DNA sequence: TCGTATTACCTAAGACTCTAATGTATTGAA
DNA sequence: TTCAATACATTAGAGTCTTAGGTAATACGA
């Protein structure tokens, strides 16, 4: 498991990219997808996830839709236009940050 | 300039690696070195730097030495044994985290 | 059928790390 | 002589996380 400190500031990017790649998702599904894609090494806690989803919704990047399954209600999140248009920049910012960190730490790029 | 959010959790690693690569350094020198290595895109604020240096010292990873230059006093930081032995793991943790993030975000590795 | 695990939503207190602002003082250059 | 740069530092407050807790439906094995 990674030091959770390193996760800070990347959660919004993860959520937005997952929604871009997989269409509408609900909260629990996002936690499972992250676990799967990271081979179990990243575990989103719900205390981090739900406030972030709500914040992104409040900022207009996500919209929600409630779907009933019997008595249970699932809340699906979808990217809005604004949300979708914000992703490319976030990804670029992340990659640029990584690149800078590699320079500062004087490490070799991954894959070379 | 990078979103400062992404910097969170990486400052200790930066400081330790800089000291490993460049020997003893003082606080202001560290801020300048980071600015130089990042081509001006990372600016450590002093409010972040000094508390972190003091914390690393309190944890036994750094030791200090005061050097007078005329009336001015410079405070040099050096890695202790413990500090030096902690670096490899921090670097590996960082690289592992990046690798995981690339998987989760489904990005191509840098340099490929 | 009964208990437990899983699914599924959520909040709240507190820790931690940062930013922005501020303070002090020395040194060097215009 | 005055302003920028050097050099140390602290503080209030913002933001993001962890840990812990709460509620409830559903699925599954004993």
Domain ranges of chain A: 4-105
Mean pLDDT for the stretch of residues A79-103: 93
pLDDT in the model for residue A101: 93
CB B51 under 7 Å to nucleic chain D: yes
Q: Which residue has the tokens 């670029």?
A: A92
Q: Please, is A110 exposed, middle or buried when counting C-beta atoms within 10 Å of its C-beta (0-12, 13-18, 19+)?
A: middle
Phi–psi pair at A98, nearest 5 degrees = -60, -45
Secondary structure (3-state) at B72: strand
Q: Is the pLDDT of residue A104 over 90?
A: yes
Q: What is the DSSP letter of A72?
A: E
Residues counted in chain B = 112
Q: What is the mean pLDDT of each run of 10 residues along chain B (112 residues)?
A: 60 96 97 95 93 96 94 95 94 91 87 48
Interface probe, candidates A105, A109, A110, chain B, greatest B C-beta count within 10 A:
A105
pLDDT, tens digit, for every residue of A15-55? Answer: 999 999 999 999 999 999 999 999 999 989 999 999 999 99
pLDDT in the model for residue B7: 60
Percent helix, strand and coil across chain B, each to the nearest 5: 60, 15, 25
Which fold, A4-105? Arc Repressor Mutant, subunit A (1.10.10)
């Amino acid at each position: 498991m990674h030091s959770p400190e390193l996760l800070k500031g990347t959660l919004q990017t993860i959520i937005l990219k997952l929604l871009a790649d997989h269409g509408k998702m609900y909260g629990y599904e996002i936690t499972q997808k992250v676990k799967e894609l990271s081979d179990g090494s990243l575990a989103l806690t719900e205390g981090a996830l739900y406030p972030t989803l709500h914040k992104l919704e409040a900022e207009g990047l996500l919209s929600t839709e409630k779907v009933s399954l019997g008595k249970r209600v699932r809340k699906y999140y979808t990217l809005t236009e604004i949300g979708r248009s914000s992703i490319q920049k976030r990804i670029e910012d992340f990659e640029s940050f990584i690149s800078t960190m590699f320079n500062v730490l004087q490490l070799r790029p991954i894959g070379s």
